[in-house]
Structure 1
């Protein structure tokens, strides 16, 4: 039975990809974007890693560990370590966006298609933040150690500018393809759901909620893991004890954050199951957990915001995005909860049966249970 179900899903996936020229172009563009952007981002990562190693080697060779030498580069090394973690996040995001594109086509989620275009442009704008932070790293290093690192050159035109151009190019192409798919999938959904305005509204609410869960898988889960990585020094023997340290956070809260990180995955599973079964108690628990996650991220942001000199701008912006995602997820959890028992489940099941009959002999839409998406 499992093998038959897997074969059915594979056939459905293939049929959805080749359904039109726009679905094919959309998937191909997504794969190309991931491959090219990851390659360019790896180049930037290697550049940053080499710069950090050069600075550290110079410190070891010249024994620049004493502050009376007038050259303290340890804060710069911390900052470059943060920037390298940004590079890894960008690489992971490109893999995520490819998966996001595949699921959008597979489930014909129009809301997800449009959101993807917005996220791609946001990703392109984040590349500007990366450039700003790398430029600041070089300038701070030169100021901290006058005359010692003047020969270091980030070569922005060779590494960062091509990345920004490629991101903007693919964001524009994907926006055009998203509009084409929005029109195509919108008509398909209308045929399956029908003309009932109330049912359409509840169905769109459900689609938005599912899309938010997928985004939370990247933003919230990755953000929580990043928080654990950034403040991992708090469980070491030489953990910072003063709020002035750029990686200081109270140890009790750090362990609370670890618990929150584990709960994010549990919340995803509970949310999907509660939505599929229209389980009200489960959805109420999910809503409460979104509030807990939001508070957790706000506290981390409080300890992350420092002076312009010491703040990690990317992480702070990432945190605020996470807070916004938690708030939106909480709001749509309430919306979905209110729709339980309003007939959406029954209507969609009946509509899909009618839709399957009208689209025979396509076997890809056969389904024996109430699915979240089709």
Structure 2
């Protein structure tokens, strides 16, 4: 029996190689970004026209109805800009959960756009009765206000389709990052949901607060007004600490954050009560439909955030922390490195003659 190395022996079978080496495809990633960008640019253009037309024809007035339209338009525009930032963040981090959340958020903007039509019509009617604005403003703005939800609806459908295509792409990234351990993947999924919820919590809380400060409390600067102003930076700090504590797996910090979320839930329930209580509902009337929309969405998000925060705390000290805190490199470089490692681990085969 003589041993011959495979070098120079032509009948030796080639080394076993992976049947399929995954090559990242950025087509759907770019498609998702382009769809969102085009939707944002078109919607912002229409919103700016409506805002400019309103400002040109409106006379000086300090009534809540006069502040309703600029507030709604500015808040709606900010929603699309904030969504664009979250799209960049989701595609950069390859976060499937955040991409799905963005699709749902876009449907939420669609609903808010439909609510906005009725709100602006009511505000223009009140101002027209007060001789503070021409009734023609509504006739000039109505077609564009109807076009906006149509554009957002089309954008939502396209984003949902592209997100479905992105699922496999991002699932491969999670596999490389976490490995094939199903329990670890579930823990990482819970963490991703929690982080995405914090980002959406910020927008809806800020949207509710801005409407309260500008439309409801603009005429009276009482203690509630100043407390609401202070609540904005405090909320940002709470959300930032919520993300920091879960990465550091601080049980005490997570308990504090969960208790603060319960306090926020009580605050929004109190606001909902005041919006419909007989003694206080008149001051909320100009913006009540949109504020109710934001308050309900925020309450739902807070409840889901509390549940996910508890699940994340339950997963502490179970091996997820190194995966969360390690830096992520270029996915394409990682794929090439992974393929090279697989090929380099194939042993040199010897043939027995």
Q: Same fold, TM exceeding 0.5?
A: yes
Q: Deviations over 1:276-317 (max 9, x none)?
A: 211111111111111222222222333333369655211221
Report the counterpart of residue 228 of structure 2 in structure 1: 257
Change (3 A) 1:360 1:258: same
Give ranges in structure 2 of 5+ residues lacking alignment.
Answer: 1-23, 339-353
Distance 1:50 1:361, change over 3 A: same
TM-score (norm 1): 0.73
The 8 Å contact of residues 225 and 261 in structure 1, kept in 2 or not, is answered as: no
Residues 68, 286 of structure 2: 8 Å contact kept: no
The one of 289, 305, 321 equivalent to 1:345 is 321
SS at match of 1:98: helix
Q: 2:37 aligns with which of 31, 39, 44?
A: 31
| 1:82 and 1:312 in contact (8 A); partners too | no
Q: Residues 169 and 105 (structure 1 numbering): CA distance in 2 closer, same or farther, change over 3 Å?
A: same
SS state of the match for residue 146, structure 2? Answer: helix
Aligned-partner Cα distance in 2 for 1:191–1:176: 24
The corresponding residue for 2:112 is 126
Instruction: Describe the shift of the 1:217–1:141 C-alpha distance in structure 2 as closer, same or farther (beyond 3 A).
Output: closer
CA RMSD of aligned residues (A): 3.1
Q: Which residue of 2 aligns with 1:155?
A: 140
Equivalent-residue separation in structure 1 for 2:285 and 2:176 (angstroms): 56
Paired residues for 1:95-244 under 5 Å = 95-140=81-126, 144=129, 153-230=138-215, 231-235=217-221
Q: Is the 8 A contact 1:304 1:311 kept in 2?
A: no
Residues 186 and 52 (structure 1 numbering): CA distance in 2 closer, same or farther, change over 3 Å? same
* Residue of structure 2 equivalent to 1:287: 258
**Residue in structure 2 matched with residue 68 of structure 1 by the alignment:** none
Q: Secondary structure at the match of 1:154?
A: helix
For residues 244 and 137 of structure 2, what CA distance do their matches in structure 1 show? 54
Deviations 1:48-104 (A, max 9, x none): 334543xx58xxxxxxxxxxxxxxxx8xx4223123201100111111111111111
TM-score (norm 2): 0.77
Match in the other structure for 2:300: 324
Q: Tell me the equivalent position of 1:366.
A: none
Are the structure 2 counterparts of residues 38 and 358 from structure 1 closer, same or farther at C-alpha, using a change threshold of 3 Å? closer
Deviation at 1:352, TM superposition (A): 7.5
Segment drifting more, 151-160 vs 324-333: 151-160
8 A Cα contact 2:117 2:142, kept in partner: no
State the distance in 2 between where 1:81 and 1:351 align: 46
Relative to structure 1, the CA distance from residue 157 to residue 109 in structure 2 (aligned partners, 3 Å threshold; closer, same or farther) is same
Q: Cα deviation per residue 1:102-139 (whole Å; 9 max; x = unaligned)?
A: 11111111111111111112211211111111222344
Per the TM alignment, residue 157 of structure 1 is displaced from its structure 2 partner at its CA by: 4.8
* Alignment equivalent of 1:304, drawn from 255, 275, 289: 275
Shift of 1:226: 3.9
Q: Does 1:81 align with 2:67?
A: yes
Aligned length: 307
Structure 2 distance, partners of 1:271, 1:348, is 15
CA contact (8 A) 1:114 1:178 kept: yes
Shift of 1:47: 3.1
User: Does the 8 Å CA contact 1:193/1:348 hold for their aligned counterparts?
Assistant: no
Whether 1:94 aligns to 2:80 is: yes
